[in-house]
Amino acid sequence: GENVEQHPSTLSVQEGDSAVIKCTYSDSASNYFPWYKQELGKRPQLIIDIRSNVGEKKDQRIAVTLNKTAKHFSLHITETQPEDSAVYFCAASGGGADGLTFGKGTHLIIQP
């Protein structure tokens, strides 16, 4: 099955700086890569996703890039704000009806 590795496990950045979270996947047939944000005590919520036929996607301050050859994808957050503090999960679909496989998560801390 699919295996998703996520790094780093914790990331601390100054408010206003950029943050980058990276994930790798194992199944070359995977074609869908969402990112979820989970605030403390809340449910994971989808913030952005990308399909394998697209290399990059942006939505205001967040962007996701995908490198199919290397089997890795990244989340980029620019001009970070205190409300960006949360745990971020990447995920990948196995190409079949296997459901989403999630990374272990990155705890993003925005320092004032």
The residue within the footprint of another protein, chosen from 8, 16, 42, 79 (CB under 8 A), is 42
- For residue 63, the minimal CB distance to another protein (Å) is 20
Rounded distance between C-alpha atoms, residue 87 and residue 73, angstroms: 17
Region binding another protein by CB under 8 A among candidate stretches 15-23, 53-61, 66-74, 92-100: 92-100
Distance set, CA 72 to CA 16, 23, 80, 111 (Å): 26, 6, 23, 27
The residue within the footprint of another protein, chosen from 73, 93, 108, 110 (CB under 8 A), is 93
Q: Quick one: 94 or 110, whose CB is closer to another protein?
A: 94
**Four-CA torsion 76, 97, 101, 80, nearest 10 degrees:** 20
Rounded distance between C-alpha atoms, residue 66 and residue 44, angstroms: 21
Rule CB under 8 A: say whether 108 interacts with another protein.
no
- The one-letter code for the residue type at 61 is R
Rule CB under 8 A: say whether 3 interacts with another protein.
no
Rule CB under 8 A: say whether 43 interacts with another protein.
yes
Residue 51 token pair: 């399909």
Region binding another protein by CB under 8 A among candidate stretches 11-19, 40-48, 64-72, 76-84: 40-48
